[in-house]
């Protein structure tokens, strides 16, 4: 990353106009490090989760909270986090969120029980919800020349695309040779140093005008999603028809309806409903939500299959996931070139069809199947398909959007995937638990304990495949934008 930034600086600094920030490439490096921590923090903990679960005696039903607490807070607070940064100062909130992220990471790394770990992960997500939009806004105001801005966003996008792959390997290295705790603790010194550098090299900027925060909207949306996730989790132990499960799901749904009503009447809505009511954008956001639901559960199941069934080490598991990241990056690069010629519908529908087939392939895994014949081909098919999908998600989100809504529309792609990941991880983990328990009630042989988890994984993969098939149907029926409707220059951003 240093080499990239230095090369950019060397090639463009002499041509800088007097109004440009002379420290802008240092600022780019600082912002890229912050984005790397945000992206990395999901995948690095996924690899470490089996070790953390064993160390803290976390139940199978509750293990998903280590992932869900982060993604739920991140996705649920992302829109209001951007508002807070815009009005209170983007640099100020960027530095504060970095320091908060450092403290939350230390708290998680030193966790003595499950509740402490889950709480720390929620705090990480909350601070990331401020850090991420502040980073993007700072990039926009720091790079005012079009060509430099495009190159800066290219660096930012490369970090976003490659961060997950780095996290997989780093998580494996730290878990195997140090401790799972260091997958969280390592953020603390990096975030503190980055905050100190930001306070020196990043310029302050803020939005003018009346400050309005849609706190009722933020509360109803986040609380509603939290209750849905908790209801899905409770269903694994109490059953779908139990009073606590039904009550949580009902109240969660009611709060989300309340959120819509609040947004309709708010003078400064967190989510202007006009952004999602457009057919193309609404279809893209809904498909993005469904992809998030299917994807996080897939990562969770694969992690436990590799480490628990195939007995891979944490490091070997990290490397086993790398083809997944590689497939997404390569196909996303292809998609960014093809999108202006085909339009979004072809890529979204075709990519989701491919990903659905890949998830169906995952259902063929067994207790003794090989990585090269059952896991690797499915990884490549799913990841290649998803890479074709993520780029048009970002582009379709901006089709026909008003200038004042562009920031919200862009953020919604990330928010829907994070929220979908929260809901999907809880739902699919419950499906896995129920399938495994049902299998053990019928089979009592000596190999049942080994086969039962694999049966749960295959049922979970099938559920994920059905969800992706639904996303494919949504994309095919709702997205009608042509290649001429895609905003100029919006074909190359990776949604994740």
Domain spans of the chain?
1-12+19-205, 214-267, 272-496
Whose structure tokens read 């780029």?
391
* Inter-residue contact 2 to 32 (CB < 8 Å): no
Residue 126 exposed, middle or buried by CB count within 10 Å (0-12, 13-18, 19+):
buried
pLDDT at 2: 38
Phi-psi group of 197: left, alpha or beta (phi > 0 → left; psi -120 to 50 → alpha; rest → beta): alpha
Structural fold of domain 1-12+19-205: Growth Hormone; Chain: A; (1.20.1250)
Residue whose C-alpha is closest to residue 143's, from 230, 27, 267, 2: 27
Give the contacts of 100 (CB within 8 A, at least 6 positions apart).
Answer: 123, 126, 127, 130
Residue whose C-alpha is closest to residue 199's, from 30, 19, 8: 30
User: Which helix (DSSP H) or strand (DSSP E) does residue 277 occupy?
Assistant: helix 273-277
- Measured in whole angstroms, the distance separating CA 91 from the mean position of its chain's CA atoms is 23
- Write down the CATH number for the domain with range 272-496: 1.20.1250.20
Grade residue 359 by pLDDT with cuts at 50, 70 and 90: very high
Mean pLDDT computed over 403-410: 76
- Measured in whole angstroms, the distance separating CA 375 from the mean position of its chain's CA atoms is 22
* Inter-residue contact 459 to 435 (CB < 8 Å): yes
Kindly report whether the global pTM for this prediction surpasses the value 0.75. yes
Separation CA 200–CA 276 (nearest Å): 39
Per-residue pLDDT tens for 431-468? Answer: 999 999 999 999 887 788 889 999 999 999 999 999 99
Give the contacts of 219 (CB within 8 A, at least 6 positions apart).
Answer: none
Per-residue pLDDT tens for 257-302? Answer: 999 999 998 888 888 888 888 898 999 999 999 999 998 888 899 9
Domains 1-12+19-205 and 272-496 share a fold: yes
The maximal CA–CA distance of the chain, rounded, in angstroms, is 77
In whole numbers, what is the pLDDT of the chain averaged over residues? 87
pLDDT at 161: 66
Separation CA 339–CA 492 (nearest Å): 9
Buried b (16+ CB within 10 A) or exposed e, 354-387: bbbbbbbbbbebeeeeebeebbebbbbbbbbbbb
Grade residue 365 by pLDDT with cuts at 50, 70 and 90: very high
Q: Of 26-30, 233-237, 459-463, 476-480, which gets the smallest average pLDDT?
A: 233-237
Mean pLDDT computed over 423-433: 93
Per-residue pLDDT tens for 94-153? Answer: 999 999 999 999 999 999 999 999 999 999 999 999 998 888 888 888 887 777 877 887
């Amino acid at each position: 990353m240093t080499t990239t930034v230095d090369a950019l600086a060397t090639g463009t600094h002499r041509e800088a106009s007097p109004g440009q920030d002379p420290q802008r490439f240092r600022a780019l490096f600082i912002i890229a490090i912050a984005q790397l921590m945000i992206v990395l923090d999901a995948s690095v903990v996924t690899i470490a989760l089996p070790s953390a679960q064993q160390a803290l005696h976390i139940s199978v039903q509750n293990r998903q909270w280590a992932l869900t607490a982060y993604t739920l807070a991140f996705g649920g607070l992302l829109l209001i986090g951007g508002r807070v940064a815009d009005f209170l100062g983007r640099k100020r909130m960027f530095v504060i969120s970095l320091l908060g992220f450092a403290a939350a990471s230390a708290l998680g790394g030193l966790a003595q029980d499950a509740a402490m770990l889950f709480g720390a992960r929620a705090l990480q997500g909350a601070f990331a919800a401020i850090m991420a939009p502040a980073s993007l806004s700072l990039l926009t105001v720091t790079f005012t020349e079009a060509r430099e801005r495009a190159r800066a966003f290219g660096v930012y996008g490369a970090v976003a695309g490659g961060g997950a792959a780095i996290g997989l390997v780093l998580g494996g290295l730290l878990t195997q040779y140090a401790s799972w705790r260091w997958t969280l603790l390592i953020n603390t010194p990096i975030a503190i140093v980055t905050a100190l550098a930001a306070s020196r090299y990043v310029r302050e900027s803020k939005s003018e005008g009346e400050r309005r925060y849609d706190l009722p909207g933020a509360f109803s949306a986040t609380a509603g999603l939290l209750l849905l996730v908790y209801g899905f989790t409770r269903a694994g132990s109490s059953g779908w028809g139990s009073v606590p499960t039904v009550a949580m799901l009902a109240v969660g749904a009611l709060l989300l309806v309340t959120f819509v009503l609040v947004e309709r009447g708010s003078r400064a809505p967190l989510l202007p409903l006009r952004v999602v009511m457009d057919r193309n954008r609404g279809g893209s956001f809904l498909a993005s939500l469904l992809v998030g639901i299917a994807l996080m559960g897939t990562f969770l199941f694969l992690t436990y299959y590799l480490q628990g069934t195939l007995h891979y080490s944490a490091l070997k598991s990290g490397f086993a996931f790398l083809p997944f990241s590689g497939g997404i990056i390569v196909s996303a690069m292809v998609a960014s070139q093809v999108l202006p010629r085909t339009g979004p519908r072809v890529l979204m529908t075709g990519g989701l069809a491919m990903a659905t087939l890949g998830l169906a392939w995952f259902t063929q895994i067994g207790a003794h199947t090989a990585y090269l014949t059952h896991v690797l081909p499915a990884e490549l098919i799913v990841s290649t398909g998803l890479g074709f999908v993520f780029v048009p998600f970002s582009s379709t989100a901006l089709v026909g959007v008003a200038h004042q809504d562009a920031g919200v529309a862009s953020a919604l792609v990330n928010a829907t995937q994070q929220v979908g990941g929260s809901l999907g991880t809880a739902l699919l983990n419950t499906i896995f638990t129920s399938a495994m328990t049902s299998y053990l009630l019928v089979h009592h042989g000596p190999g049942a304990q080994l086969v039962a988890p694999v049966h749960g994984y295959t049922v979970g993969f099938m559920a994920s495949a059905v969800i992706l098939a639904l996303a494919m149907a949504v994309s095919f029926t709702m997205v009608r934008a042509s290649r001429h409707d895609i905003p100029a220059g919006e074909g190359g951003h990776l949604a994740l």
